[in-house]
Amino acid sequence: MTGWRILVVDDDLVFAKALEQALHRRGHQVVVAHDGETALVLAAAGDFAAAVLDLRLAADSGLRLIAPLKAACPALRILLLTGYASIATAVEAIKLGAVHYLAKPAGVEEILAALGRAEGDAAVRPADEPMSVDRLEWEYIQKVLVENDGNLSATARALKMHRRTLQRKLAKRPVKE
């Protein structure tokens, strides 16, 4: 898998630059966008083989970009990469057309392996321990947030939770599994 033209979409300037350099050192041509609008313009004008897309793009969701990116480049292999991983967003990303979903931190070799895999891996082992209560809460909040199209007020109402409490919970990193 060398020589791919890859679109990196991430609003974290430092991370995007580091990923761009690492992919370039491995022989790939990389173009970076720091917001969804720029990513769609670049995808329409360029012939990309793959895209690495961040889930959280400032105030927007990377999930909303998957369908338009696939429309612009039908053969595009999209990897959703996030520091806020949840089962709900992973399922939605795959349903929307992403080929893989990885939690940050992910190394460049892991990213390239995910983009290069054409099928799922049935040999992946299930977790040895059930999720903690804190992790279950995080997963449930993410599921309800997806059901409400990212609308915080509607999610807070559905959870019968004050909006500021929900914002505080979402501002934290997800609980480790």
For 87, counting Cβ atoms within 10 Å of its Cβ (0-12 exposed, 13-18 middle, 19+ buried), the class is middle
Domains and CATH numbers, the chain: 5-116 (3.40.50.2300), 133-171 (1.10.10.60)
Q: Does the pLDDT of residue 52 top 90, yes or no?
A: yes
Summary mean pLDDT of the chain: 84
Reduced to 3 states (helix: H, G, I; strand: E, B; else coil), residue 20 is: helix
Query: What's residue 30's pLDDT?
Result: 92
Mean pLDDT of 167-177: 72
The type of residue at 173 is R
Q: Work out the end-to-end distance of the chain between its first and last CA atoms, rounded to an integer number of angstroms.
A: 32
Q: Does the pLDDT of residue 1 top 60, yes or no?
A: no
Better pLDDT: 99 or 124: 99
Mean pLDDT of 11-22: 89
pTM across the whole model = 0.73
Tell me if 23 sits within 8 A of 8, measured CB to CB.
yes
Query: What's residue 131's pLDDT?
Result: 67
Q: Does the pLDDT of residue 9 top 60, yes or no?
A: yes
> Could you tell me the pLDDT band of residue 173, with boundaries at 50, 70 and 90?
low
> Could you tell me the pLDDT band of residue 59, with boundaries at 50, 70 and 90?
confident
Q: Does the pLDDT of residue 117 top 60, yes or no?
A: yes
Query: What's residue 23's pLDDT?
Result: 92
Query: What's residue 29's pLDDT?
Result: 93
Mean pLDDT of 106-127: 75
Q: Which tens digits make up the pLDDT trace of 126-164?
A: 667 776 778 778 778 878 887 887 888 999 999 999 999
Host H or E run for residue 135: helix 133-147
Those residues whose C-beta lies under 8 Å from the C-beta of residue 97, and which sit 6 or more positions away, are 66, 67, 70, 78
What six digits make up the tokens of 20? 């761009």
Measured CA to CA, the distance from residue 163 to residue 151 in angstroms comes to 11
